[in-house]
Structure 1
């Protein structure tokens, strides 16, 4: 029996959610039900698993339990990059001579993109929700320029398309002269994450039922089935998918294997597009790992800039408003350095979102006990890896021998983290060092 020691807590509301109209949540579970599959968590992983299950077998009875409201959690706090290529250009695995592991990662990522593309086509989304525009990897220093050049050589080896931009060309795109170089890759999808997650939930058909404001309080094996208790009801299921990322550890699962890190974002108020030249919609990850992600978001009444940076280690799986405000002061400096012509434009929204990392960068995935599957630990690439993990978990339950499932089967198991207090000391020191090393980026 696994009993939750804590429930998800979200500090502040994501700007992505606040940009959307209010919605009426699905009803909470208020009785005992029996289903074929229960999914704990309605983020990228859980909803993708539900979609895959219902597509392959519409007769399956599937219950998705969401502790809060759709898009209020980590999925709706994402920066909205569904990437096809690994974006940490200094990754040893990516830069290595053996392209096999990298090809597996690319295949995993593109499987996630295919699911997202299918949903977008079905829903008839415009570019405000789903934009297959690609992304920039962008530099602000000589150090960043070197990483861009290295990345280009790696893409050459992989025979992946790209386009290099000098400082003038970057300015033509971004409307600012702050950046020194960039590399553009065409395969990434950019989404409005809260709108995407809501739409994915609304797309589910067949026997899928979503219950919001219905946290799982405990999991208990009863014969060949699992019984999940909730505040006002219970679910008995033949199979269960844990799609709650770091909160799997709240049930005592993967204890000592998951490192809980929060990252932060700030989004400006709307400003007149006339104040900033360049394209009105673009997205860029930093040339140097742990740097600053930037997006320009086009709107009907004006545009916004998203700044995402700053990382903190939070083993209790929650942050305070002071944590968000401290990160916000860093964002203000980053914004001013990149967009001096937007002086006076204020940040309207600030928030943080949780990530679950493993020591060796692999997912926490697979059948934990008979009938109990995990699709967790997205290692900071939630929209992409979580989507693929959800698909793979569904394939496992369905008995489908897919290429994706084979790829996840080749990952080693998560390695144990150092004991406390060394873990906290080391994690904070490592995050601080990597942010310092990123410098201007």
Structure 2
């Protein structure tokens, strides 16, 4: 009998501004009994909820149960920057431009399949424009190096026929109100989401079809005969097939050990403000979304609801195989983010940061997911490689198709990938990965 004891549970540091400003419209229900189901999904993030929705479409008569260790939207799914990106976006690379045109086209097709799935979610469950906004995104450059990286990216997009538009410094200033940026590269296919609202809207929409139990961390997972049994708190779920949508915590279930990099990134969100609180138009349009021209730079977003705006800034990466970071670390990065923010918006020095938080990513050295049937009836939809909104949505969809035997060309391509390669042993991996991250952040310079 296979028996996994899960000793390490998710730990999140800081309060996510996205979750704090999101309103929850349905109660959280913990698992209290022993139940049987046709399907068990572990994890209530983008992967788990997408797998649940796809299963409900493919097997509408089946009983589907989802277990989430915390509350939906309070974990990593509600802590990201909210970019659903269609074009290449490899955080482990030094730039976004690509050489392998055929592989790039395949990746774009996969990303757009996930975005289309999310668009259907938004339409079916009545998500607002503030939650799901197909506005595109801008790669913003603040230095000569950033302009060069954007130009390389532009050329690679041009080669594969992808729509884009170059923005000059005046257009960037008109959009953002900031004189910090010297240029930008706009691509129209990205969707901006309020991640906590999206996740909660998806969970609420699924609740008539899927039994979602929160505050129900899986503590043991065992294979008993033809079924898996998950013990969680004061109850258990037995099901013949299980999908794990737990990202880097897949290693806590005994899978892909020594093959995944656990990266944390950090963000801060300002207090709400109205345009007339500051002299002049210091923050530009009501809504905009900037990625850095250098992948290790600062991501910046402005959101506006009912005339009140907030700005979110995300910088810094750290490698933490313990899967947790301290409040002191978050506070230290928040101080750095304050300086980065003030450099961009000198007219907003008096505007406080209301929330600061850390969020976990999972990467593999060869930029592939931790996907597949890892044991009989046990499926993994993990390791989003730094683009959790899209890649985890896709992984959940593909895991549901794979587990139900639903064939498609998309699944054939997706599952035909190598497994994540091994990392060097610790502490060599810790020293190596953090050294590379720090060097890349220093090289990003003014983009950070």
Structure 1 residues 209 and 179, CA gap change in structure 2 (3 angstroms): same
1:127 aligns with 2:133: no
Distance 1:43 1:142 in 2: 38
Distance 1:43 1:357 in 2: 17
Deviation at 1:76, TM superposition (A): 0.4
Asked if the contact 1:328/1:350 (under 8 Å) is kept, the reply is yes
1:283 aligns with 2:289: yes
Distance 1:326 1:407 in 2: 42
Following TM superposition, the consecutive aligned residue runs of length 4 or more in structure 1 with deviations greater than 6 angstroms are none
Distance 2:30 2:207 in 1: 18
Structure 1 residues 93 and 191, CA gap change in structure 2 (3 angstroms): closer
Q: What residue ranges of structure 1 are gaps of 5+ in the alignment? A: none
Aligned to 1:168: 170
Asked if the contact 1:93/1:101 (under 8 Å) is kept, the reply is no
Distance 2:30 2:366 in 1: 37
Aligned to 2:113: 111
Deviation at 1:360, TM superposition (A): 1.2
Aligned to 1:100: 102
Residue of structure 2 aligned with 1:336, choices 332, 342, 359: 342
264-273 or 86-95: which moved more? 86-95
Q: What aligned pairs does 1:134-173 form with structure 2 within 5 A after superposition? A: 134-173=136-175
1:430 aligns with 2:432: no
Aligned to 1:210: 212
User: Cα deviation per residue 1:143-174 (whole Å; 9 max; x = unaligned)?
Assistant: 00001111111111110101100111111111
Residue of structure 2 aligned with 1:255, choices 254, 257, 266: 257
98-107 or 74-83: which moved more? 98-107
Deviation at 1:224, TM superposition (A): 1.7
Asked if the contact 1:93/1:102 (under 8 Å) is kept, the reply is no
Aligned to 1:326: 332
Structure 1 residues 309 and 123, CA gap change in structure 2 (3 angstroms): same
Tell me the SS of whatever aligns to 1:199.
Answer: helix
Deviation at 1:430, TM superposition (A): 1.2
Structure 1 residues 95 and 165, CA gap change in structure 2 (3 angstroms): closer
Aligned to 1:222: 224
Tell me the SS of whatever aligns to 2:185.
Answer: strand
Distance 1:374 1:88 in 2: 21
1:310 aligns with 2:319: no
Deviation at 1:388, TM superposition (A): 0.3
Aligned-CA RMSD value: 1.6
User: Cα deviation per residue 1:399-431 (whole Å; 9 max; x = unaligned)?
Assistant: 111232122123211000001110111121111
Distance 1:17 1:215 in 2: 20
Q: What aligned pairs does 1:253-402 form with structure 2 within 5 A after superposition? A: 253-274=255-276, 275=278, 276-402=282-408
Deviation at 1:228, TM superposition (A): 0.7
User: Cα deviation per residue 1:357-416 (whole Å; 9 max; x = unaligned)?
Assistant: 111111100110111000111111000100000000000012111232122123211000
Deviation at 1:219, TM superposition (A): 1.1
Asked if the contact 1:82/1:113 (under 8 Å) is kept, the reply is yes
Tell me the SS of whatever aligns to 1:323.
Answer: helix
Residue of structure 1 aligned with 2:30, choices 20, 28, 31: 28
Aligned residues: 441
Residue of structure 2 aligned with 1:17, choices 14, 19, 38: 19
Deviation at 1:125, TM superposition (A): 2.3
